[in-house]
Chains A and B, each alone.
Chain A
Amino acid sequence: MQFEIDERQPIYRQIMDALIRQIARGHWPPGGKLPSIREVAEGVRVNPNTVARAFQELERTGLVETRRGEGTFVTIDTKVIKDCREETAREVWAEFLVKIRELGFTNEDVQRLAAELKEEGKR
């Protein structure tokens, strides 16, 4: 796992979000094993304590579970993953709406744009 961190935001939060997106996308399948804390720490080049914190927070969401001595695994409860995916999508959508409204777009404009883009995609 590798990405640019933004030092102005909590780093554990960024690691956690990145993992959630990867799980939502199915990069780590249900029941699959996540990379170890050390591996992530080396990839992102941060302190392992920070990664451990990201894993702890992630565990609290129920999306992953840590088995002692074995590692951290994605939950096999696909409903949790699905819910999480939906929720993340809603967040992304909400962010998108904020940005597009800053351009003066109304809900109708957005729907029109979506339809146009869909047509373009077909061609």
Chain B
Amino acid sequence: MTIPAVILDNVVKRFPLTKALDGVNLAIDPGKVVGLLGHNGSGKTTMLKIIAGLRRPTSGRVEVFGMAPGVETKKRVAFLSEVNTYYDWMTVDGLLNFVKSFHPDLCLEKAAELKEFMKLKGAAKIGALSKGQQARLKLVVGLSRQADLMLLDEPLAGIDPPSRAKILHALVGELRQEGQTVIISTHEVKEAEPIFDHVVFLREGRNVLEGDAETLRAETGHSMEELFGEVLE
């Protein structure tokens, strides 16, 4: 039996005024491309951050490759935040070298290809990049690595619509490492629809619907986009 990439067992995350997660149960098999679908404020970011070990659940159990989130799991996880979290004063190449010191799995040749693909200059200061370039930069950083689990929080935010489909397909296609588990949070389902193996619909901190995308299509005769509208409105 393989160890699931992620297990969430009745995970609750309470903030002073709200409950970001309200009892989420989830098991994700390794190698799956998972769509974490929900509107803004449904708890997607909180869930990804809990898996990444950046936030602690108020209650419930979290396991990443069979371990509680911590230094060991962080070696195998790439968390790509929705907003820029890199140091403004670093250059693109400086950042890649910095990350490589912590993640020997980062391949600089691949990073060079990705920089080309994303049209980023290595000598550019991160603080001087546009929002769109910063969004591409994190994809360069994340995809240059061979992380077993990649967590992408709204990766399409800030990317111009014409490039979106291209980047998405590259993401799960040629750029993805064999066997890598990917969790992508998004509220723009249409573009991302064909790349998901598994979908989780999140509403007000609960996974109201979850399952194999193909099975859901066969059972309901609906696309994920239609289900998104149905389940989450």
Contacts and interface: CB of A to CB of B under 8 A. Distances in A.
Interface of A: 5, 7-13, 38, 41-42, 44-50, 53
Interface in B212-232: 213-215, 217-218, 221-226
Nearest to B31: A49
B169 A53 contact: no
Contact of A47 (B194, B222, B225): B194
Contacts of A5: 194
Secondary structure type dominating chain A contacts: helix
B174 interface: yes
A8 B221 contact: yes
A48 B223 CA distance: 19
Interface in B171-209: 172-174, 176, 193-197
Contacts of A12: 214
Q: Which of A8, A47, A48 has the most CB of B within 10 A?
A: A47
B14 interface: no
B100 interface: no
Nearest to B170: A42
B217 A38 contact: no
Given A47-B195, A50-B197, A38 B173 contact: yes
B191 to A, nearest CB: 10
A50 to B, nearest CB: 7
30 contacts: A5-B194, A7-B193, A7-B224, A8-B217, A8-B221, A9-B221, A10-B217, A11-B213, A11-B217, A13-B214, A38-B173, A41-B173, A42-B173, A42-B174, A44-B194, A45-B165, A45-B169, A45-B194, A46-B194, A46-B195, A47-B173, A47-B194, A47-B196, A47-B197, A48-B173, A48-B176, A49-B32, A49-B33, A49-B197, A50-B197
Contacts of B194: 5, 7, 11, 44-47, 50
Interface in B24-56: 31-33
A48 B193 contact: no
Given A7-B224, A11-B213, A42-B169, 17 more contacts: A7-B194, A7-B217, A8-B217, A8-B221, A8-B226, A9-B221, A10-B214, A11-B214, A12-B214, A45-B165, A45-B169, A45-B194, A47-B172, A47-B197, A48-B172, A49-B197, A50-B197
